[in-house]
């Protein structure tokens, strides 16, 4: 029952302290929730709407919303494996356990247990990275963009130049552009070639014309491809020019990953074998680990990066380091890595597994769901041409309101709207998420 909003009704609203006193929660949050509940009622009255006779239930809902963490677990039903907005690579179970152990108390982050002296945090992953890639040395920073910036600053820096092909002056996520990254390193950019074609002679002319070149930078076109009348110089040929080469390969492809990865995705070990001074990549893309920036290569180049003042500002934290170490350990057994690292398992998921998962989800939702087909994506600025065609669950509903209701659920569900249909892709779901997802969809369909 409700009453029309008039002056008398407004005067009957409880005082903030009275309503807050009826709530079970921290005082500051209870007061905030009470104020919001009363403000809602005042707004309803001003609009001529009905008002609730008891504000306590609504105030409790608001209190629960205020107390809820901002960073939350969500169910990714989009089919975008490395969804940047959703945190990119989910971590393997053994990796999550390693993070929990590191977070539980103190750790030997920068302590050499053998000598009792101060150690290096990079020691926890350097041996693994050199073992897996063939590099002489390695250092890890907090993300891929930081790795590129530190590499440029360490090998060129103030007063020197970096040569980059015009077709590789790309913009990465968040509007960060390679020319701006180089400028921030203190180096001067020398552009060579054209947008679509760059030859070894272009680099040779630049080196002859400039005696201050500190490095050549090769940048992988992570989130797009240039096709047709194109030409670029292989990293091995660049390494033969006698100038240190920074190879930004982006995604972090290690041997043993799914065969479906396109031929154009550079392999970390291949760049190292070609002689690149520093090879940079992200840890949370195809590598399937935490956010991190990996830098591997020649011992002298890695040492220069380690000595640079920016290295401390960009250093990786202990929890990300624990996650990276545990992820790299899985790669010692390629079959185990393919099975346990979620990104690799999703990329390699077979038709039978996906069909069974889709059918189970559709049956659990009910008659307003049916199995159809669509294409998933790698996402995260990787493998832009790769189409992972497979079964998906489509809902018979107005997609906008249902998608909004799913996002507001607990846990939130992120779905994909394509061609006017709301799709749920089993490729980015785990078997354990099927039942809670189906329950969330049934509730959203009912409310929608």
Can you give the three-state secondary structure of 274-303, one letter per residue? HCCCEEEEECCCCCCCCCCEEEEECHHHHH
The DSSP annotation for 172-231 comes to EGGGEEHHHHHHHHTPEEEEES-SSB--HHHHHHHHHH-S-EEEEEEE--TT----SS-B
Residues with Cβ within 8 Å of residue 231, at least 6 apart in sequence: 196, 197, 198, 199
Q: How confident is the model at residue 448 (pLDDT cuts 50, 70, 90)?
A: low
Q: What is the pLDDT of residue 390?
A: 97
pLDDT of residue 131: 97
Band of the pLDDT at 176, cuts 50, 70, 90?
confident
Distances in Å between the Cα of 443 and the Cα atoms of 26, 58, 440 are 30, 20, 5
Q: 93-340 belongs to which CATH class?
A: alpha beta
Q: Which residues contact 303 (CB under 8 A, 6 or more apart)?
A: 137
Query: If you average pLDDT over every residue of the chain, what do you get?
Result: 92
pLDDT score, position 175: 72
Q: What does the pLDDT read at residue 259? A: 61
- Quickly tell me which residue has 């390969």 as its tokens: 249
Residue 262: the pLDDT is 57
Number of continuous H segments (helices) and E segments (strands) in the chain: 19, 17
Does the pLDDT value for residue 251 go beyond 50? yes
Sheet with 369-376, strands from edge to edge, namely 369-376, 388-395, 421-424, 416-418
Give residue limits of the domains in the chain. 2-66, 75-85+345-447, 93-340
So what CATH class is 75-85+345-447?
Answer: alpha beta
Q: Give CA–CA dist 268/247, Å, rounded.
A: 9
**Residue 260, pLDDT above cutoff 90:** no
255-284 average pLDDT score = 84
How far apart CA 162 and CA 217 sit, in angstroms, is 7
Give CA–CA dist 33/26, Å, rounded.
Answer: 11
**Over 50: is that where the pLDDT of 354 sits?**
yes
For the stretch 285-319, pLDDT in tens is 999 999 999 999 999 999 999 999 999 999 999 99
- Residue-wise pLDDT tens digits, 401-439: 999 999 999 899 999 999 999 999 999 999 999 999 999
pLDDT tens for each residue of 91-142: 999 999 999 999 999 999 999 999 999 999 999 999 999 999 999 999 999 9
Gap between the Cα atoms of 75 and 28, Å rounded: 31
pTM of the model: 0.91
């Amino acid at each position: 029952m409700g009453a029309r909003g008039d002056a008398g009704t407004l005067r009957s609203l409880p005082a903030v302290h009275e309503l807050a006193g009826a709530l079970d929660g921290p005082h500051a949050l209870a007061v905030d929730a009470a104020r919001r509940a009363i403000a809602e009622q005042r707004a309803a009255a001003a609009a001529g709407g009905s008002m609730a006779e008891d504000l306590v239930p609504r105030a409790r809902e608001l209190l629960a919303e205020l107390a809820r963490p901002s960073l939350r677990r969500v169910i990714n039903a989009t089919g975008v494996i490395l969804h940047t907005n959703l945190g990119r690579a989910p971590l393997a179970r053994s990796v999550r356990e390693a993070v929990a152990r590191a977070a539980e108390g103190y750790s030997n982050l920068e302590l050499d247990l053998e000598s009792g002296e101060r150690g290096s945090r990079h020691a926890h992953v350097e041996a693994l990275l050199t073992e897996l890639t063939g590099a002489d040395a390695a250092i890890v920073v907090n993300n891929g963009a930081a790795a590129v910036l530190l590499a440029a600053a360490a090998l060129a820096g103030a007063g020197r130049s970096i040569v980059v092909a015009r077709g590789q002056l790309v913009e990465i996520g968040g509007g960060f552009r390679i020319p701006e990254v180089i400028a921030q390193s203190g180096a001067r950019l020398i552009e060579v070639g054209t947008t679509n074609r760059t030859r070894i002679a272009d680099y040779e002319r630049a080196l002859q014309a400039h005696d201050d070149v500190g490095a050549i930078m090769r940048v992988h076109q992570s989130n797009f491809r240039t096709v047709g009348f194109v030409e670029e110089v292989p990293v091995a040929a660049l390494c033969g020019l006698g100038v240190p080469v920074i190879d930004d390969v982006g995604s972090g492809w290690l041997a043993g990953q799914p065969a479906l990865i396109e031929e154009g995705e550079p392999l970390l070990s291949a760049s190292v074998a070609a002689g690149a001074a520093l090879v940079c990549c992200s840890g949370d893309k195809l590598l399937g680990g935490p956010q991190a920036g990996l830098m591997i290569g020649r011992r002298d180049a890695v040492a220069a990066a380690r000595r640079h003042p920016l290295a401390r500002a960009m250093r990786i934290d202990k929890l990300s380091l624990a996650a990276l170490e545990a992820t790299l350990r899985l790669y010692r057994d390629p079959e185990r890595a393919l099975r346990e690292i979620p990104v690799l398992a999703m990329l390699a998921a077979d038709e039978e597994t996906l069909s069974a998962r889709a059918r189970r989800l559709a049956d659990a939702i009910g008659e307003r769901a049916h199995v159809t087909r669509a294409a998933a994506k790698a996402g995260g600025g990787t493998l832009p041409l790769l189409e992972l065609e497979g079964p998906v669950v489509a809902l018979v509903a107005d997609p906008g309101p249902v998608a909004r209701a799913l996002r507001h659920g607990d846990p939130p569900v992120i779905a994909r709207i394509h061609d006017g249909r709301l799709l749920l892709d089993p490729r980015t779901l785990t078997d354990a998420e099927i039942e809670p997802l189906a329950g969330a969809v049934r509730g959203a369909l009912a409310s929608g």
